[in-house]
Structure 1
Amino acid sequence: MSWRPDESSVQLETETAWLQGCVLTGVAYGVVLMLVTMCIQTLWARIRTPSTRTRKSVFLLFYVIVIAMLATILFVTNTAFVQMGFINNRNYPGGPAAYIETMFSVPDNVASCVPIVLANWFGNSLMLWRCMIIYKDCKIRTKVLVVALPGVILMGSIALGILWLIQVSSPRSSPALNAATGISYTASYFGVALAVNISVTLLIVSRLLLHRHRVTKVFGSGRGSHYTSIAAIIVESASLYSVFSLLFLIPFGLNNPVSNTFLQILGEVDIIASLLIIYRVLQGKAWSNDTPTKWQVHSGNERSVRMDRLSATRTATPDSQIGAHLDAMEIKVDVQVEVDSSDILRDRKDARC
C-alpha cells in the first residue's frame, strides 16, 4: 500500500527542495554560531586589554553582533514560514509548495527576506573595504579605478534590493515573480549582487597573485603562502558566496525547484563568508595596511644578509690566499692566450702552405 500524496512529481520535487533548504539553513546557522563565538572571544580579549584596544576592534565587534542577529532572524523566520506550509496549512490546494509560493508575502517570509538583503549589503561592503586595504599602497588613480566599478555596482545592488523587498512584500508576489503583469526583481537583484562579489573577487585575487609572484621571485615558493594560498584567496575574496549564488541563479533561470533550496541558505552563506574574513583578520593572517611595506623590508633584509655573508667570506679568507688565487688565474689566462696565439700562427702557416 502506497502512502504517497495525491500530488504531481513536480509538486513533490518543489516541496522536497523547500524542506531540504530549511534543513541546510539550520546547518549553516550552526556554522555561523561557531564563527561568531570565535570572533567575539578574540575581539573581547583585545578590547579588554588597553594596549590592543582599537577602534577597528570595537567596530568589528559591533559588526559581528549585528550580522549574528541577522543570521538568527533569518533562521527563525525561514523555519517558521516552512512550518506554516508543511504543518499549519498542509491542506492548502496544491500542497505545501503551492502555499509557500502563493503566500510568499506573509510577514514571516518577508521577515526572512530582509536579513538576506541586509547580509548581502554588509558582506559586499566588507569585501569593498578589504579590496581598498589590499590596494592601499597603489597609486591614487589605480585605487579610484579599483573602487569605482564595484562601488557603482554596489549602489545598484542596494537599489534593486529595496525594490525586491517591496515586490516580495506585495500580496500578489511569488518567489519566482514570473507573472505576466509584473517585473521580476529576483534575478536582477541577485545577479547584480553576484556581479559585485565577482568584480571584487577578481580584483582581490589578481592583487594576491601578483604579490605571490613578487614574493616567490625574491624568497622562493615557501614564503608568504599564508597570503596567497588557495584557502587564503577563497576566504579573502568571499568566493563562497559566489558559488552558492550561482547555485541559486542557474536553477532559477531554468525554473528548476532546486533554486528554492539555495535561496534559503544564501543569506547564511553570505554571513559565513564575512565572518571568515573577520576571523582571518583577527588572526593576523589577512592582508593588512603594512603588508607590502613589510615584505619590502624583508626583501631588503634578505639582500643585506646575502651581502653580509659575502663580506664575511671575504674577511675569513686571508689576503695572501686571495692574492695567490688571483695570480694563478692570471697565469692560467696568459698561458691560454699564448696557446691560442700559437694555434692561430700555426693555422696561418698551414694556410699559406
Structure 2
Amino acid sequence: MSDNSDLLFQNSYYIGNNFNTILYGVQLVLYVMTMQRLVRTTRKSTADKFFIFHSTATLILITIYVAVESVFGEEMWIVNRDFPGGQGAYLATFAAVWYQTMGTTASVALNLLSDGLLIYRCYIVWSDFRVLIFPGILYLATLGVVELWASGAPHSDFFAGLAAHLGLAYYSLSIGLNVVVTSIICGRLLWYARTAKHYLGADVSGAYFSVAALIVESALPYSMAGIAFLVSYGLNSEISILFLSIYVMFTAVSPQMLVLRVVDGRAWKQNQMTDTSTTLDFTNSSRGQTNGSSQYVSGSTKDDGIMVRLETMNKTDRSVEDVGKFSTSGDSASHI
C-alpha cells in the first residue's frame, strides 16, 4: 500500500468512525422510542415480545461493532502511533485481533437479524410464501461462517488476500438478498399505491403509500448503502472502509425504523392485502366538525372488481374526515 493510498484509507477509517457515532445516536433514539411504545402496552402480544427481543439484540450488536471500531482506531492512531512502519503496518499486523473478529461477528449477526426481518415483511406485504423461495435460498447462503473464519484467522486481513475474496462473495450474496427483497417490497407497494390512487385519490392513498413509507417499509437506505460498499469493496478502493461503516450502521438503523413504524401501527398489515380480499383504512383528522353524515357513490369497473366506500363521520371524542375502504373481489361491479 502506497503512502497516498494509506493516507486515504486512514482518512476513510476516521470519517467512518465519525459516521458510526452519529448513526449510533440515531439508533439509540429509535430504540428508546420503540421501547416506550412497547412498555406502555399492558398485555404484550407475541409480536410485541419479538420486537423487544429484536430491537434489544440489534442495539447490543451494533454497540459491539461501534465500540470495536473506536477502540481499534484509538490503538492505531494514539496508543501505537510510533508503531514501526506506521498505521498501515499496524493495521496489517493486528487486523485479525480478537476484538476485531468479535466486531465482524456482530456485523454478520446483524445482517442475519435484519435480513430475516426484511423477509418477514416481504411475506406480510405479499401474503404469499412463494415469493420467499428465492430470498430464503439466498438467506441460507449468507450465514457468514466461512467469512468469519477467513477474516479471523491469524495474520489475515479483511481487505486483502483470501479473506477479501471470500468477503466479496459473502457481501455479494448478502447485499444481493437486500436488493431482491427491497425490490419485491417496493414493486408490490408501488403497484398497490397506483391502484389506490386511481380509486381513492392521491390524498387518501398517501396515508400508506407516501415516499417516506416506501423508504421505511423496504429498508431502502440499507440496500443503497450496501450497493455503495460492494462496488468500492469489489474495486479494492481505500474508501470501502467508509462505506462499510455506513452499511453496517444502516443494518441496524433501517430495521429499527421499520419496527418503530410497525409498533406505531402505521406499517403495512397482513390483513390489508390477501389473495382474494384487501382492506385499506385511510384516516385523516379533520380540522372542523362534521354533521355525522355518510356519503355513498355508485360506480362500476370493467375488470378488477374493486369496491370502494367513502364515509364522513363525526364522534364526540374525535372527528374523521375521510375513511376509505376498498377490497378486491371477483365481482365485476362495485357500489360505493
Alignment partner, residue 35 of structure 2: 40
1:243 deviation in Å? 1.4
SS at match of 2:124: helix
1:183 deviation in Å? 7.0
**17, 22, 28: which one aligns with 2:23:** 28
Superposed CA deviations along residues 78-135 of structure 1, whole A, max 9, x for unmatched, are 1111111112222223321332233211012111111110111000000000011111
Alignment partner, residue 169 of structure 1: 152
SS at match of 2:161: coil
1:177 deviation in Å? 2.7
1:65 deviation in Å? 0.9
1:251 deviation in Å? 1.6
Superposed CA deviations along residues 3-38 of structure 1, whole A, max 9, x for unmatched, are xxxx82222111111111111111111111111111
Alignment partner, residue 286 of structure 1: 267
Structure ranking higher in strand proportion = 2
In 2, Cα distance between the equivalents of 1:297 and 1:19? 47
Alignment partner, residue 190 of structure 2: 209
Which is greater in Rg?
A: 1
Alignment partner, residue 56 of structure 2: 65
1:246 deviation in Å? 1.8
Superposed CA deviations along residues 223-280 of structure 1, whole A, max 9, x for unmatched, are 2213222211111111111111122121222221110112233222110011010011
Alignment partner, residue 155 of structure 1: 140
Say whether the 8 Å CA contact 1:177–1:186 is kept in structure 2: no
Alignment partner, residue 89 of structure 1: 80
Q: Indicate whether 1:122 and 2:113 are aligned.
A: yes
2:132 partner amino acid: V
1:21 partner amino acid: G
SS at match of 1:26: helix
Which residues of 2 match residues 110-149 of structure 1 at below 5 A? Answer: 110-136=101-127, 143-149=128-134
Structure ranking higher in helix proportion = 1
In 1, Cα distance between the equivalents of 2:82 and 2:92? 14
Alignment partner, residue 334 of structure 2: none
Say whether the 8 Å CA contact 2:123–2:129 is kept in structure 1: no
Superposed CA deviations along residues 27-74 of structure 1, whole A, max 9, x for unmatched, are 11111111111111111111xx23xx2111111111111111111111
Structure 1 unaligned spans of 5+: 1-6, 137-142, 309-353
**Identity, % of aligned positions:** 26
In 2, Cα distance between the equivalents of 1:265 and 1:109? 17
SS at match of 1:269: helix
Say whether the 8 Å CA contact 2:157–2:164 is kept in structure 1: no
In 2, Cα distance between the equivalents of 1:56 and 1:238? 19
Q: Indicate whether 1:232 and 2:213 are aligned.
A: yes
1:285 partner amino acid: R
Q: CA RMSD in A?
A: 2.1
1:294 deviation in Å? 5.9
Which residues of 2 match residues 288-307 of structure 1 at below 5 A? Answer: 288-292=269-273, 295=279, 305-307=296-298
Structure 2 unaligned spans of 5+: 283-293, 300-336
| Alignment: residue pair count | 284
2:26 partner amino acid: V
1:190 partner amino acid: Y
SS at match of 1:290: helix
Q: Structure 2 vs 1, CA of residues 198 and 166 (structure 1 numbering), >3 Å: closer, same or farther? A: same
RCO higher in structure (CA 8 A, sep ≥6): 1
Alignment partner, residue 333 of structure 2: none
